[in-house]
Amino acid sequence: MYGFIKACAVTPQIKVADVQYNANKIIDGIKGACGAQLIVFPELCVSGYTCGDLFNQRVLTDGVEAALDTICKATKGNKVLIFVGAPVICADRLYNCAVAINDGRILGVVPKTYLPTYGEFYEGRHFTPAEKNNCTIVLCGQTVDFGTKLIFRADNIPQFTVAAEICEDLWVPDSPSIYHAKAGANIIVNLSCSDETVGKAEYRRDLVKMQSAKLVCGYVYCDAGEGESTTDMAFAGHDIICENGTTLAESKLFDNGCISADIDVDKLSNERRRMSNTFFTCGDCDGYKVINFTACGNGGVKRSFPQMPFVPANDEKLRERTELILSIQTSGLKKRFEHTRSKTAVIGISGGLDSALALLVVRRVFKQLGKPMSDIVAVTMPGFGTTGKTFNNSLKLINCLGATAKTVDITQSVLHHFKDIGHDPEVLDVTYENAQARTRTLILMDLANKTGGLVIGTGDLSELALGWATYNGDHMSMYAVNCSVPKTLVKHLVRYEAENLGGEAQAVLTDILNTEISPELLPPDKSGNIAQKTEDLVGPYILHDFFLYYAIRWGFTPDKVRYIARIAFDGTFDEATIDKWLKNFYRRFFAQQFKRSCIPDGVKVGSVSLSPRGDWRMPSDASVALWLSKLDS
């Protein structure tokens, strides 16, 4: 469903060399992994990894083949892709293998490439490392492919592509999974038997996580646990499922059982396609064979999605992220000041979040450059919609930070402009609104000329996505410090700086944080409060930032964005509300591209940027019809 593959790692309780007992436990594990489409068991789990010289006994290897046959018969009619670890003979040599089974059929056998040659893990005593080329063997009466260059692909879910490596293969510099991924495997499974020692779990976790990130893949690591011999070692059953650098599921140590997670192969495929020039190399697929199977459907995605994907849920990570973003913004603007040798920074202060954040960044830049705060020309420009609260907060914030305050009332200038163009000031239309925004930008630009300054843009990423800016009004500046910061993150950046500053500055910034988001271009209500509320007009920013992240960063289809939004916002927004604003998002995103095609310079801070110079290139007259049809259908 929408590219989600439910994967399970199962560590059964085994008995060393008791192959039929182990087969029954594996079958129980398959039955217990209800709803899975991919199930992975540990290395050599059919026999047990710690058999020692018993691997040289024909009784054991014959018993393993009989046990595999039992597993095949028990899975007839089951369209799950299953990997079990077993010793397998090929050309009178013994190999440590991953056996792929589906619907009672052995699809292929993948031998281990790198055999450890240290400590108790001297596998070379019994096993042969994998050959370079694939071949065929007869196993359980079936002629099957044997080799490392095998990819298993679901014919009914083409992006569900899987390849296997075994334990040590992951720990070496030239892992087989590197080539598996380049040859098209979206999911790598690792059948492992890794002994537990102090500190090893952390290393193992980081290794699996980073391999999934490097290869842009899902990685299912299944480790042996209780039941293996403890003559010299202990095994903790440390199972891990990762996706592109994110840990989706992880077992507790010394707790045999099953973990599961939904891996998004559609997301992985999109990301690889985006970076195809660097990810794929000619010759990567040489010698690989694709083996098709039929997969069962995902009975229902149980994966969770954060409502604010741009904002870390962990408080410590959020603090680290906010400091890093502010440092990136500061670095970008500092470089521009040094290059232009500008004397002042000219910035419009509205009493809202975006201009507050931009002013805080300018303050950081001036501190680093050793420039006096008085060279920050902070301009308040009250007009028809300005309320007393936002006007007063603007002045308080400017004074707290030591900037030079300048107030320019635009009312008469705009009324005169209305007279020039023949506009009735009683008609509160787009002309009424945009004339104010353009007047303010004219004032800022001319003040910058007068003071030898740089006009600092305040608009954020969410506004760029929706085109919520007046063309050649607040749309324009000389450097835009917030252009890559989504609205849901702006609040956290401002709150973070407020806590750092403390005192009166924190008090006024807290009041700004609690103020309704508004451009204040329409007159206040009868009580003098903000009447024009942005989120009533364009929709909740928490929804739009969610749509932006998954639609633009990951390239999800509109129906998939809607599907995961319904999961994420269940109990917060009903389906009709999500549908309404999702359609609005796509309409506005396509219709407003012409504004993004000529935005000012601004530093990129995260994985989503809409700069036409390096990140998002789109024709201004592209049609949204296909995207909306996905929602209508």
Instruction: Name the DSSP letter for residue 134.
Output: -
For residue 118, the one-letter residue type is Y
Question: And the tokens for 378?
Answer: 């902070």
Which residues are 247's β-sheet partners?
242
Going by DSSP bridges, is the β-strand pair 4-10/38-40 parallel, antiparallel, or unpaired? parallel
Question: And the tokens for 348?
Answer: 């419009």
Going by DSSP bridges, is the β-strand pair 258-264/4-10 parallel, antiparallel, or unpaired? antiparallel
How many whole angstroms separate alpha carbon 554 and alpha carbon 557?
A: 9
Contact 325, 606 (CB under 8 A): yes
Q: Is 520 a catalytic residue?
A: no
Buried b (16+ CB within 10 A) or exposed e, 366-389: beeeebebebbbbbbbbbbbbbeb
Name the residue with tokens 């789990």.
Answer: 45
Contact 8, 55 (CB under 8 A): no
Instruction: Name the DSSP letter for residue 373.
Output: G
User: Which residues lie closer than 8 Å to 3 by C-beta, 6 or more apart?
Assistant: 157, 159, 264, 265, 266, 267, 269, 560
Q: Is 112 a catalytic residue?
A: yes
Pick left, alpha or beta for residue 524 (phi over 0 → left; psi -120 to 50 → alpha; otherwise beta).
Answer: beta
Question: And the tokens for 613?
Answer: 């110079």
User: Which residues lie closer than 8 Å to 384 by C-beta, 6 or more apart?
Assistant: 411, 414, 432, 436, 521, 522, 523
Alpha helices in 174-275 (DSSP H): 176-182, 200-214, 265-274
Length of the chain: 633
> Which residue in 25, 51, 65, 112 is the catalytic one?
112
Which residues are 243's β-sheet partners?
218, 246
Which residues are 161's β-sheet partners?
153
Contact 161, 263 (CB under 8 A): no
How many whole angstroms separate alpha carbon 97 and alpha carbon 315?
A: 44
> Which residue in 8, 90, 140, 167 is the catalytic one?
167
> Which residue in 43, 243, 463, 497 is the catalytic one?
43
Which residues are 94's β-sheet partners?
89
Q: Is 222 a catalytic residue?
A: no
Question: And the tokens for 592?
Answer: 């407003």
How many whole angstroms separate alpha carbon 2 and alpha carbon 294?
A: 17
How many whole angstroms separate alpha carbon 601 and alpha carbon 528?
A: 37
Catalytic residue list:
43, 112, 167
